[in-house]
Amino acid sequence: MTKLWQKDYEVETLIERFTVGKDRELDEYLAEFDVLGSLAHSRMLESIGLLNKTELSDLQKELKNIYQKIKAGEFEIQEGVEDVHSQVELLLTEKLGETGKKIHAGRSRNDQVMVDLKLYLRHAIHKLVSEIEPFFELLMMLSETHKNVLMAGYTHTQIAMPSSFGLWFGAYAESLADDLLLFQTAYRVVNQNPLGSAAGYGSSFPLNRQMTTDLLGFESLNYNSVYAQMGRGKSEKIVAYALAGVASTLGKMAADVCFFMSQNLNFLTFPDELTTGSSIMPHKKNPDVFELLRARCNRLQALPNEISLILTNLISGYHRDLQLIKENILPALDELSDCLSIAKFTLAQVQVNPNILEDEKYRYLFSVESVNKEVLNGVSFREAYRKIGKQIADGTFEPETNIQHTHEGSIGNLENAQITARFRQIITEFQFEKADKIYKLLN
């Protein structure tokens, strides 16, 4: 197996297979970012005299060729090659000979994989935010469309007070705005450059770390080389918390949909082709997609804890334990993307029931309205509560169904414009355009 650390002995095959694990498979996520990192690193090496202009030109040309193969789906980590770093260096050496071997000066696989991961995570966050945005817009549209359709609100899974579909859809939209704040924090953490920290203790070469920071579009450096390495695992865990935040929102919404679709409630439904049936019960219309969405989101919410347990009791410095975190975080980003996609596709076709509160079981839903009417007529709240409670107990209660909710965030005043403005402000604060400077490296 081709290894950047190869010496004059062979590692036992069983040991080799166990230590490489899934790196060859998972490193394909990182391939384009490994090349972009090397494009920046090689320019920096030339600026400090470790490459001449001809060597730099040759390396830049070949790295760009490799990048195009990656984007065309023609790149693979060959059997017997340990990881993406080894594969890229192997291709450079096959094409350029000794020049290809010079590119690793001033860096370690430790900071190389970290910069790859941070660039990938930064890119993945941008992609997820761009997928959250149209889902938010859908929820806002549904909130406005159905703002006058009343439904029952539940507490303790018991009938509680009047709500509306406008209020329900809008609640999940605002939840996504808070979820974006977690992503904003995660983005700022991964948008710091660890390249040049080498194995975690810097280099005796006069590296220009600010140069690679600028070329790669990072907001700033991880300044301390030891801390730069401590960021491995920590960065992924912070991103995992952001993933878990959105997963929590989607999972709770999926649970609501499963509850609301039950025949006992019949709050909403979907076209038959979005549901499944039973092998023996011909009347069934099952919300399987939302049950699986709920389960997949629950699994995503376990991710920060999984990463935390891998990191538990590791001293500072690099440890091979950190390799396993790729197996947790990289597929999870795709998982959340899939969940957002299916949620958007299905909810765009939701069918709400406009006659929910005609059911007799909801007559007590309006008890608080009756209490409040008494209070508005001068009765103390406690006395009004006692009076309506007695009417309910003795069967003489007549509901007051004239809903007058006007305060901010209530049935009659959803504040959707304010929620939308806040969401859009958070989006602008990411400043994704600064990170796009990285693609100038391909010019």
> Could you say which of 45, 74, 104 is where a domain stops?
104
Return the minimum-mean-pLDDT range out of 101-105, 206-210, 373-377: 373-377
Q: pLDDT category, 216, cuts 50, 70, 90?
A: very high
Q: Are 373 and 288 members of one domain?
A: no
Q: What is the mean pLDDT of residues 119-129?
A: 98
Is residue 252 located within the same domain as residue 379? no
Q: Which domain holds residue 40?
A: 13-104
Query: Do 44 and 81 belong to one domain?
Result: yes
25 confidence band (pLDDT: 50, 70, 90) = confident
In a shared domain, residues 277 and 346: yes
Q: pLDDT value at position 315?
A: 95
pLDDT over 80 at 12, yes or no = no
Residue 5's pLDDT band, with cuts at 50, 70 and 90, is: very low
Regarding whether 254 and 192 lie in a shared domain, the answer is yes
Q: Which of 329, 61, 49 is nearest to 206 (CA)?
A: 49
How much is the pTM?
0.91
pLDDT at residue 9 in the model: 56
> What's the CATH code of the domain at 424?
1.20.200.10
Radius of gyration of the chain (CA): 28
| Separation CA 10–CA 272 (nearest Å) | 60
**Residue length of the chain:** 443
Q: Is residue 90 a part of any domain in this protein?
A: yes
CA distance readout (Å), 111 to 229, 255, 304:
7, 42, 23
Averaged pLDDT score across all residues of the chain: 93
CATH of the domain at 78: 1.10.275.10
Per DSSP, helices labelled H in 72-203 are 84-96, 98-101, 109-145, 165-190
Per the structure, how many domains does the chain have? 3
98 with 164, same domain: the answer is no
